[in-house]
């Protein structure tokens, strides 16, 4: 059965599907819902909490239609035996005909609370209770039409999605059959059926992912074996103005052992903010340059690249290592000089951004590639930089630095192509950031504290979830509106800057530079400052609508302050919750990450690896134990000779999944 055989898929919709990577029925069936709307259990109006829900009642009065600036707003009131709620629809004038007064109606929408006023927004009429799948939008295909297409495609599930796991393995781990799992993942009959389907699909994808990585790692790439003396790491530490922690000594020893081997190092160093990963990167650079090779260190922003370069000049140049900087904003003449210095070996350690892999850049004898903040780089960029140094079949060593603490089991699976080192110790004397929940009625007190800090010569961040105001999320603060409000109100007279992700790159770099140089007192932004910004003078982090962020992201944002010797504060503007209270009790990123994993499941955390190269869309059940279960399953398959047949089937399924992914990429 071909895609074109499905009723409703004509030439234009075929093109729309191909544009998002769907070229076959198999692709369509494997494109699982992003989330589900539980339209089976109505909630009493009096019991509504902020967020999505289904309610049932009668329309109390005729709906009203208002027009303003080319937009429309429909308002009405619904009542049940427990109370009344305002209904609001933006740009949906047809709802006027779907709200007969006095008739019972079921609605699924989102409860919003702003300034103490509750409203149920953009609800849809529910005619039949169900668990409704919600898919990632395909431009040109309405959501309802897409679901209709998917129901037809499920008729071919047995043909398109054959079983991939051995029956004995499924029985040992309580997994349902694949065809049943895919049907229930798209259109579940019940919450329990959906749980079984998600568990089966999650288990399979994690297991095949590990099998594919294991096969990939069995191919060892030859590297440059470096003649590093046994005492070289100690001599590096002796040249620094501060003593290393035991964890730093251990990890640099692991790096040195890797560099001495004739296979290319691929090592991930992860640790919390302030644990000294940059010093470890410089240690690896010193060991490599000491053996006559070049190093390149790529950072996610020009500001951070500049800071790394300046630190390297203070630490590495006194050790006799010539350092240089290469960024995209350089003038043509400076860029040409930088290219020459890298290609002829004048620069032994080159620091920069993506400019390090731009056209025309070459290296004399590249022996080590360091990428900072791994989750901002894809595998492709990392490989492109490594490939610049390939000589006679040998490739440079690769060191990846990540400041996103991830529970060890998850890290071993996520970064299965890398060896793992964990820096689990902070330098002595580091002042923990004080984290406080701030209710709306204490906002003015918080701004008064910010003014006091700025008067003392400090700086502050204000982070918002949105760039600009949204009609559908009235209770969510935007960076642009907050910037205007602060400039005109509580921070009037203070130098306040504004930045966001889609801001023109030159403009964004300029704002970040001004803040880093101390020419701005407060920086209002989206989460674009989550990485790549290091301003030790900043002592206050304000996070608006903090409940909208995951714990790990909140911890990353909090890590932007507390980088100097002064006491620092993180203020979370939100209602009280277990999640946010937990963040006020600890500064340990690994504990925060573990709690995040328990609260949300691994799916969001796995999104931090933006490789774009994963051969499966990894969907994980919220049960953290599934991570350990799949790892233990694969370990047993490899170690138990009686399970060789099962291992062969798993490896074959993993290889087929990889080939399928490659075919999909080739089609697009």
Question: What is the mean predicted confidence (pLDDT) over 113-122?
Answer: 84
CA pseudo-torsion sign 508, 607, 479, 547: negative
Q: What's 532's domain CATH number?
A: 3.40.50.300
Let me know whether 449 and 303 are in one domain. no
- Clarify whether residues 456 and 524 are in a common domain: yes
Residue 612 falls in which region: left (phi positive, over 0), alpha (psi -120 to 50) or beta: left
Phi-psi region for residue 140, left (φ > 0), alpha (ψ -120 to 50) or beta? left
Q: What is the mean pLDDT of residues 248-273?
A: 91
Identify the helix (H) or strand (E) that includes residue 76: strand 71-80
Between the alpha carbon of residue 483 and those of residues 476, 489, 523, the distances in Å are 14, 10, 9
pLDDT of res. 406: 72
In terms of domains, do 373 and 452 share one?
Answer: no
Domain assignment of residue 114, yes or no: yes
Is residue 605 very low, low, confident or very high in pLDDT (cuts 50, 70, 90)?
very low
Verify that 354 and 440 share a domain, yes or no: no
In this prediction, residue 529 has a pLDDT band, given cuts at 50, 70 and 90, of confident
Residues 356 and 449 in one domain: no
Question: Is residue 377's pLDDT more than 50?
Answer: no
Mean pLDDT lowest among 41-55, 413-427, 577-591: 413-427
Instruction: Please tell me the chain's helix, strand, coil percentages from 3-state DSSP, rounded to the nearest 5.
Output: 45, 20, 35
Determine the Cα–Cα distance for residues 660 and 162; give it in Å rounded to an integer.
13
Could you tell me the two tokens for 239? 């040249």
Q: How far apart are CA 283 and CA 289, in angstroms?
A: 10
Residue 496 lies in a domain: yes
Structural domain range at position 330 = 232-260+274-402
- Give per-residue pLDDT as tens, 386-412: 677 677 778 899 998 877 777 666 666
- In the listed set 383, 402, 421, which residue is the last one of a domain according to the structure? 402
Residues 373, 442 within the same domain? no
Does residue 444 share a domain with residue 389? no
Which positions ≥6 away from 172 have C-beta within 8 Å? none
Which stretches of 319-429 are DSSP H helices?
332-343, 379-387, 408-414
Q: Which long-range contacts (CB under 8 A, 24 or more apart) does 12-19 make?
A: 12/140, 13/140, 13/141, 16/138, 16/139, 16/140, 16/141, 17/138, 17/141, 18/667, 18/668, 19/138, 19/139, 19/668
Q: Residue 82 is part of a domain; what is its CATH number?
A: 2.40.50.140
pLDDT surpasses 50 at 658: yes
Q: Would you say residue 121 lies in a domain?
A: yes
**Does residue 222 form part of some domain?**
no
**Would residue 656 count as lying in a domain?**
no
Q: How far apart are CA 594 and CA 575, in angstroms?
A: 22
Say how far apart CA 378 and CA 381 lie, in whole Å.
Answer: 5
Alpha-carbon gap, residue 546 to 446, rounded angstroms = 15
In a domain, 663, yes or no: no
Q: Give the Cα separation of 308 and 322 in Å (integer).
A: 14
Query: Are 367 and 441 found together in one domain?
Result: no
3-class SS at 365?
Answer: coil
Average pLDDT value for residue range 370-378: 61
CA 121/CA 38 separation, integer angstroms: 17
Q: Do residue 445 and residue 396 come from a single domain?
A: no
Distance CA 414, CA 618 (A): 10
Q: How many CB atoms lie within 10 A of CB 541?
A: 24
Q: Is 55 part of any domain?
A: yes
Residues 463 and 571 in one domain: yes
Q: Please list, in sequence order, all residues whose beta carbon lies within 8 angstroms of the beta carbon of residue 403, skipping any fewer than 6 positions away.
A: 270, 271, 272, 273, 277, 373, 531, 556, 559
The 10 Å Cβ neighbour count of residue 5 is 11
Among 525, 559, 586, give the residue marking a domain's end. Answer: 586
CA distances from 28 to 6, 19, 563, 589 (A): 11, 13, 47, 38
Split into its structural domains, the chain has a count of 3
627 Cβ neighbours under 8 A, 6+ residues apart:
206, 407, 409, 410, 413, 602, 620
Q: What is the DSSP letter of 657?
A: H
Both tokens assigned to 491: 């921070």
Of 564, 586, 608, the residue that ends a domain is 586
Are 462 and 379 part of one and the same domain?
no
- pLDDT tens column, 221-243: 888 999 999 999 999 999 998 89
Q: What confidence category does residue 376 fall into, taking pLDDT thresholds of 50, 70 and 90?
A: very low
- Structural domain includes residue 72: yes
Alpha carbon 477 to chain centroid distance? 21
Greater model confidence, 261 or 614: 261
Query: To the nearest whole number, what is the mean pLDDT of the chain?
Result: 86
Q: Are residues 253 and 336 in the same domain?
A: yes
Tell me what pLDDT residue 217 has. 65
């Amino acid at each position: 059965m071909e895609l074109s055989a499905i009723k409703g898929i004509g030439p234009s919709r075929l093109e729309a599907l191909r544009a998002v990577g769907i070229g076959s029925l198999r692709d369509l069936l494997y494109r699982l819902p992003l989330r589900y709307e539980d339209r089976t259990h109505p909630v009493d109006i009096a019991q509504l909490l902020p967020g999505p829900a289904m309610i049932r009642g009668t329309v109390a009065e005729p709906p009203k239609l208002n027009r303003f600036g080319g937009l429309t707003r429909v308002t009405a009131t619904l009542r049940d035996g427990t109370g009344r709620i305002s209904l609001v629809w933006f740009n949906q004038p047809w709802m006027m005909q779907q709200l007969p007064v006095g008739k019972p109606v079921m609605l699924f929408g989102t409860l919003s609370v702003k300034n103490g006023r509750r409203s149920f927004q953009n609800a849809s009429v529910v005619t039949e209770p169900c668990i409704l799948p919600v898919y990632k939008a395909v431009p040109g295909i309405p959501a309802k039409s897409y679901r209709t297409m998917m129901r037809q495609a499920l008729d071919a599930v047995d043909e398109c999605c054959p079983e991939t796991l051995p029956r004995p393995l499924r029985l040992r781990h309580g997994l349902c059959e694949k065809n049943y799992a895919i049907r229930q993942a798209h259109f579940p009959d019940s919450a329990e059926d959906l749980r079984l389907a998600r568990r089966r699909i999650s288990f399979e994808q994690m297991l095949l992912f590990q099998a594919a990585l294991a096969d990939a790692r069995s191919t060892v790439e030859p590297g440059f074996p470096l003649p590093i003396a046994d005492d070289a790491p100690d001599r590096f530490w002796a040249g620094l103005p501060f003593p290393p922690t035991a964890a730093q000594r251990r990890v640099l020893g692991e790096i040195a052992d890797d560099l001495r081997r004739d296979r290319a190092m691929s090592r991930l160093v992860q640790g919390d903010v302030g644990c000294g990963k940059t010093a470890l990167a410089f240690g690896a650079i010193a060991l490599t340059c000491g053996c006559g090779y070049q190093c390149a260190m790529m950072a996610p922003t020009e500001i951070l690249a500049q800071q790394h370069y300046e630190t390297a000049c203070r630490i590495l140049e006194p050790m006799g290592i010539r350092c240089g900087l290469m960024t995209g904003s350089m003038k043509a003449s400076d860029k040409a000089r930088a290219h020459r210095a890298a290609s002829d070996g004048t620069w032994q350690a080159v620091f920069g951004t993506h400019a390090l892999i731009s056209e025309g850049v070459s290296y004399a004898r590249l022996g080590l590639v360091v990428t900072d903040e791994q989750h901002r780089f894809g595998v492709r960029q990392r490989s492109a930089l490594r490939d610049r140094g390939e000589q006679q079949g040998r490739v440079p060593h690769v060191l990846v630095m990540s400041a996103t603490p991830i529970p060890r089991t998850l890290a071993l699976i996520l970064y299965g192509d890398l060896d793992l080192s964990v820096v689990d110790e902070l330098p002595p004397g580091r002042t923990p950031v004080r984290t406080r929940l701030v209710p709306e009625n204490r906002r003015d007190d918080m701004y008064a504290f910010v003014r006091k800090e700025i008067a003392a010569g400090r700086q502050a961040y204000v982070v918002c979830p949105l760039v600009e105001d949204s009609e559908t999320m009235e209770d969510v603060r935007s960076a642009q509106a907050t910037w205007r409000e602060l400039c005109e109100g509580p921070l009037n007279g203070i130098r306040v800057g504004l930045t966001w992700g889609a801001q023109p790159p030159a403009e964004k770099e300029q704002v970040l530079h001004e803040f880093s140089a101390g020419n701005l007192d407060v920086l209002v932004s989206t989460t674009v400052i989550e990485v790549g910004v290091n301003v030790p003078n900043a002592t206050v982090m304000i996070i608006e609508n903090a409940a909208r962020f995951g714990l790990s992201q909140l911890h990353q944002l909090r890590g932007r302050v507390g980088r100097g010797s002064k006491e620092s504060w993180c203020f979370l503007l939100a209602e009280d919750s277990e999640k946010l209270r937990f963040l006020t009790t600890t500064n340990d990123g690994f504990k925060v990450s573990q709690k995040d994993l328990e609260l949300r499941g691994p799916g969001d955390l796995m999104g931090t690896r933006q490789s774009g190269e994963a051969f499966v869309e990894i969907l994980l059940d919220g049960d953290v134990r599934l991570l350990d279960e799949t790892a233990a399953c694969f370990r047993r398959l490899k170690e138990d000779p009686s399970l060789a047949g099962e291992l062969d089937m798993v490896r074959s399924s993993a290889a087929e999944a990889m080939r399928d992914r490659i075919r999909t990429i080739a089609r697009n």
